Amino acid sequence: MAGVTDGVFRRLVREIGGAGLVSMEFVSSEALTRGVRSAVSQMAFTQQERPIAIQIYGSDARRMADAAASVERAGADVCDINMGCPANKILKGCAGAALMGNLPLARAIVGAVRSAITIPLTVKFRTGIDEPRANWIELGRICEGEGVAAVSLHARTARQMFAGRAEWDRIARLKEAVGIPVIGNGDVENAGDAVEMMRQTGCDAVMIGRAALKNPWIFAQAAALLEGRPPASVSIAQRRDLIRRHFALAMACGDDKLVLHKMKSFTGWYTHGLPSGRLLRWRIGEIRSPQEFLEAVEGYFARAGS
């Protein structure tokens, strides 16, 4: 979720409700330990976002430990190690999911980080680099042995990226293999999927990523289902108000060019499936100022009758 789970989006999710823990986009341990300003500033968050996890990645145990210490000093509630990112630029640095191909290094990193902090440590990983090297259970047991508080499993291999279907049965097998909490991830497209994943796998929690882009209400809807209540539907007016709120928050903390770039992406997600939403997405692709953006959005929703 790099470039997505920034402070503005995290605040919006918290305002809507339902999420137990939010995580920021991952931060490079190399950049953090070298004092790169953009990486350090990326760790900023508000009290409204708590509880919050800060996720780090890297391939050097010492630097990862130092980065984790920075995470704790920043006041995060949880430090998370990313061993699941399948992006080529991360894999080339022997980080992310590449660590699943070097379990001794993965163990060293987890152990070094665990020794460096007192806050809970979690680790996210996939089922393996590819199918012949599927070793998620072994990595889960390593994490448990090194004192990790919980593990998250995206039930695909790194080679799959986001293709095919996540194999939820592997989440169930991991849950049977370890004694620490297991968080399931992969193909949770709506609130019902979240409840079904818990039912099928016995996992302790569900991590939702891409589905939240089109429906930030998914956390509140899933929470309602888990409590035995029907999930609330989302009106066109609520989607209009969400875009307005996102725009206002973004304008308060970013320059015009960055705000427009972000809002074009988020508005495309927020209007997915709405009547003539494609026309709005086409229109905002051409605008050059925040005021034009706001006028285009207001015009669309006025015509939509919200």
Could you state, in order of their start, the residue ranges of all structural domains in the chain? 7-226, 236-304
Q: What's the pLDDT at 184?
A: 98
CA distances to 53, 61, 109, 132, 230 from 67, rounded to whole Å, are 14, 10, 11, 32, 42
Q: What architecture does CATH give domain 7-226?
A: Alpha-Beta Barrel (3.20)
Tokens standing for residue 238: 């609520």
Whole-model pTM?
0.93
Catalytic annotation present for 85: yes
% of residues, the chain, pLDDT over 90: 77
Q: What's the pLDDT at 155?
A: 97
Q: What's the pLDDT at 281?
A: 85
The amino acid at 149: A
Those residues with Cβ within 8 angstroms of residue 39's Cβ, 6 or more apart along the chain or in another chain = 27, 28, 31, 32
Tell me which of 79, 85, 143, 203 is the catalytic residue.
85
* CA pair distance 69, 122, nearest whole angstrom: 14
Q: What's the pLDDT at 285?
A: 83
pLDDT tens column, 81-118: 999 999 888 988 889 999 999 999 999 999 999 999 99
The amino acid at 188: V
Those residues with Cβ within 8 angstroms of residue 131's Cβ, 6 or more apart along the chain or in another chain = 157, 159
Angle, helix 103-116 to helix 136-145, in steps of 10 degrees: 30
pLDDT tens column, 214-243: 999 999 999 999 999 999 999 999 999 999
Handedness of CA 111, 112, 115, 121 (dihedral sign): negative
pLDDT tens column, 46-83: 999 999 999 999 999 999 999 999 999 999 999 999 99
